[in-house]
Every structure is written in C-alpha cells, then in structure tokens.
Amino acid sequence: MMLPVMKLRSLALGLAVLCAPAAHAQKRPPQIVKPLAGPRAAALRVTWLYVSPDKSAQKVERVQIGRELVIAEKSGDWLRVYANTDVEEEHSEDEPVFGSNDTPPPITGWMEAKGVVSENLPNGDQILLGSAASEEALAADPRGPANAAQAARLLYRRVVEMFPNSPLAAEAAWRAADIRWQLQKADYHSLPSAKLQNPALHNQMDEDELHKVMKYYPHTRWADLADFDLIDNKLCGDWQGQEKCPERESDVYERYAAEHPNGPRTAQALYEACYRQAVLTDMYRADGSDKRHDEAHHHAGALAAQLKDKFPESDYTWRAAALVFKLDQEVPVYGIDQP
C-alpha cells in the first residue's frame, strides 16, 4: 500500500545545480572502496538476470530499480553484472555516508543493457536524479506502485555513491535520508507507543543518515532540512490536554529557528512555535492562569510579527496572522469551540 506521507518535492531539480558551489565547499563523504570488476551502475527498471545473454535462458534473479550493479562484461546489447537485488542495506554509526563493505554477497548474471546507467555515462548523475524524482512523484500518487518510495531512495543513493563529486550529490543525499525518515515515521505512527506523551518512551526513528547529511554538508540548506526532520524524535504523542508538551515543543521549534535563521524550514518552525503558544493561551485560560494566558498570547503575537518581518510572502506568516486574530477574538484554536 502506498504511504500517504510521501509528498512531491517543492524544490525544482535546477535549484540543486544552482546551490552546487556550497556543496563543493564542504568535506566530501568518504567514497566506498571495494574490489570492482568494472564500473558501477544502476537499473532504472525492474529487470531479470539470466544465466546467459538470451531471454530464453534460465532466470537467475530479478533486479529492482536502483539496485547497485557492477558491470563485468558487455556483449552486444547485454551486460554481465554483479548485482545486489532487493535486500536493504543497513548502516552503522561508523560506516560511510551511504554504503558498507558488509553488504550481502552479490549475485551474477546477464541482463539487457537498456535502462542501465553506469558511472561512465555523461550526465549520469542528472539521469539518476531525474529518475529518482519521478519515482518519488509516483510515491505521492495513491495509484503509484507500492515500492516507488524505496526505488526513489535507492536511486538517490546511487547518485551519491556513483557520482560523489557531482553538484547534485548533496541534494541526493538529503532526499535519500528524508525518504528513509518518512518511511520510518509512517511505521512509527502505526505503533501504540506513538500516542505516549513522553517522546523518550517512543520508538525513535534512526537518525544516522540525517546526521551524516549534516556532517558532510554543514551550514547548507540540506543540513538545515535534515536538522528539521530530527525534531520529529523530540515531539510528544497525544498531548492529552497537558501544558508541558506544547511548552516543550514550542521551545524546540524556537531553538531551531534561532539556529537556522534563514533556513528553508525556518518559517515553518516559527509557525509551529506560534501555534503551540496559541494552544497554551487556550490551555492557560481554561486553567484560570490569567498571567500565563497573557504571556502566551503576547508570545504568539511576537512570533507572528517575526514571521511577517522575515517571511512576508510565506503561507506560514498568513496562517500565524489568522491564529493571532482568533486569539484576539477569544476564538479557541485548541479543543472544541462551544457555541
């Protein structure tokens, strides 16, 4: 079943190229070094391996989109490859950014050459990234194939591994990490522990890949995006009407906005903090805490003003203005308004 959390990227692929100089200025991720019989490659379609270069020959295994291949030999329109099939590779803290020397043993066979991108192909990084973006778009479509998100993730990873010096590598690294995060997040929300108030009691999503994006591309928009994703592990489940959750979460979002004042998620972080202060305004009023009610009301207004000053054209600015209007009119933003 297709996961509804997967969404289309608002960032155009061309923007990644425009942002390339910042990526090049950073420390490059360590390249994976292992014995190779030939160039690395990746398949853009699901395809079969055969024992010989003939479609009537015995089938060996089916290779999924984005799986790593090593080309050992070419014969006409056929390639003999070593291939990792559809086994997801796991990574530990000390491994390179995307990859390991401890992957499952590859299988070998012959496959048709069409739809295969090798690391020697001119503009191969652009072709892989474009194919990954197409798979990600399919993941956002309820009619898309069930494994489109995973295919997109693997293709993005191939960009990083096969073209580590590409101006698109940082964008691809972020997208691969974010897809993994969103898939984990969907699984997490299906668990009973997701409703617990204390985030320390939740099953935490694995932060490793996001931290690697921040490590290898520091002080870039991709690091800012990765750090915003990490907030998910700090959020409460069900607030249960308790003030401590929106208090803590407001602090988390404000801290993020202070640390990333011009980041691509800063406006959203300020809005999330504003919303929680609006919620607290309602909660404090219900508790009869007039002083705290006034402080939260003022705090929400200050955050909305900050948004208007820094991000005047953002949807989040307008949403924050609507929240403050409701507060001024004593219209509840949390709970049910009693007529």
CA distance 277 to 298: 9
CB 234 within 8 A of CB 252: yes
Backbone angles phi, psi at 69, to 5 degrees: -125, 155
Q: How many residues does the chain have?
A: 339
What is the pLDDT, as a whole number, of residue 90?
43
Does 37 score more than 80 pLDDT?
no
Residue 60, helix vs strand vs coil:
strand
What is the arithmetic mean of pLDDT over 4-32?
Answer: 46
Alpha-carbon distance of 247 to 262, in angstroms, equals: 24
Residue 26 has pLDDT above 50, yes or no: yes
Please name the amino acid found at residue 67.
Answer: R
Determine contact, residues 170/147, Cβ cutoff 8 Å.
no
Is the confidence at residue 7, as pLDDT, over 70?
A: no
pLDDT at 249: 97
Residues 107-152 pLDDT 10s: 899 999 999 999 999 999 999 999 999 999 999 998 988 899 999 9
**Mean pLDDT across the chain, nearest whole number?**
85
Q: Which amino acid is at 246?
A: P
Per-residue pLDDT at 83: 87
Paired tokens of 133 = 């973006």
Q: Is residue 92 predicted with pLDDT exceeding 80?
A: no
Q: Residue 86: pLDDT above 60? A: no
What gap in Å lies between CA 312 and CA 305, rounded to an integer? 10
Note the pLDDT of residue 240. Answer: 84
What average pLDDT does range 225-253 have in this prediction? Answer: 94
196 pLDDT more than 80:
no
Eight-class DSSP state of 232: G
254-309 pLDDT tens trace: 999 999 999 999 999 999 999 999 999 999 999 999 999 999 999 999 999 999 99
Alpha carbons within 13 A on the beta-carbon side of 88: 7
- On the question of pLDDT at 15 being above 60, the answer is no
Asked whether 88 and 40 are in contact (CB, 8 A), the reply is no
C-alpha span between 192 and 247 (Å, rounded):
23
59 beta partners:
50
Residue pair 133/125 in contact (Cβ under 8 Å)? The answer is no
Nearest to 240 by CA among 196, 204, 274: 196
In this prediction, residue 101 carries a pLDDT of: 40
The answer to whether the beta carbons of residues 178 and 229 sit under 8 Å apart is yes
> Residue 11's pLDDT band (boundaries 50, 70, 90)?
very low
Residue 100 has pLDDT above 60, yes or no: no
